[in-house]
Structure 1
């Protein structure tokens, strides 16, 4: 069965970027430390990353994040979706208008201009098709940013939440949960590594 999984890294004080994120520094000041686990040599970090990438039948992201990963300093042959795993699922971008051009033309991009629920529905169709082709269940992964993940949680579109809790205190930045609608979570898995605590919850 295809599930909708929100997957995001957060600091100990609840931020998903440092202060002042922008086109040249998408994670803001000090924010690169959040994703140290994704480039770690720790075998448990590698397993978490590999399994998450492998289960991704389709990925939803917002336009700001798309502009970063498709920009000149974004993904390449060595670092892409899943960091060094460089996964190639279908990508669905929530945006008010499609870009005039795409740099990463070897990836499967769909641009949805009618809102997040339609983008999630489109991604589910792609993930279900990929599941049928591969003979195993694949999921839709919401990789961010904060607005995309938060809006999906608020709208009740998320089946599971995976948080990668980095041992970093940023002090300021982009908070994940401030002003969010209340949700009941059921903890399912915890994996503690040298660089992060990986938590998975069912969202009720």
Structure 2
């Protein structure tokens, strides 16, 4: 069965970027430390990264994050989603206005202008089709940014939360859950490494 999984790295004080994020500084000041685990040689970090990308049938992201990954300093063959891990899934972008052109034209992009629930529905359809084609269950991964994941939680769209808790205090930045609608979570796993604690929760 296709699940909707929110997957994001967060600081100990609850931020998914550092202060002053922007087009030239996507993760904000100090925010790169949130993703140290993704480039680690620790076997547990590598396993978490592999398992997270191999289950992806479709990925949902917001327009600001799309502009970062498709921008001049964004993804390439070595740093794109699941680079070196698995084949690339379909990408669904929530936006009020699709871009006039896409730099990463080799990737499968769909732009949804009718809101997050419709984007998730579109991504679920793509993931289910990929599941049928591959013969294994694949999921929809909400990769962010923080506002998109918080909105998905508030709308009751998330089945599972995958948090990568980085041992850093950023002090300010983009908060993940401040002001969120209350939800009950059930912890399913905790994997500590030298660079992060990888936590998964069922969302009730």
Q: TM above 0.5, one fold?
A: yes
- Inter-partner Cα distance in structure 1 for 2:183 and 2:82: 27
Match of 2:128 in 1: 128
Cα separation, partners in 2 of 1:86 and 1:145, compared to 1, 3 Å: farther
- Inter-partner Cα distance in structure 1 for 2:76 and 2:83: 10
Residue pair 2:166, 2:197 contacting (<8 A) in 1 also: yes
Secondary structure of the corresponding residue to residue 127 of structure 2: helix
Cα separation, partners in 2 of 1:31 and 1:84, compared to 1, 3 Å: farther
Residues 44-123 of structure 1 aligned to structure 2 (within 5 Å) = 44-82=44-82, 84-85=84-85, 87-123=87-123
TM-score with structure 1 setting the length: 0.98
Residue pair 2:77, 2:83 contacting (<8 A) in 1 also: no
Deviating beyond 2 angstroms after TM superposition, the runs of 4 or more aligned structure 1 residues are 82-87
Q: Please list every run of 5 or more consecutive structure 2 residues that lacks an aligned counterpart in the other structure.
A: none
Q: Please list every run of 5 or more consecutive structure 1 residues that lacks an aligned counterpart in the other structure.
A: none
- Inter-partner Cα distance in structure 1 for 2:37 and 2:198: 10
Q: How many pairs were matched up?
A: 204
Residues 1-204 of structure 1 aligned to structure 2 (within 5 Å) = 1-82=1-82, 84-85=84-85, 87-204=87-204
TM-score with structure 2 setting the length: 0.98
Q: 1:82 offset after TM fit, Å? A: 2.9
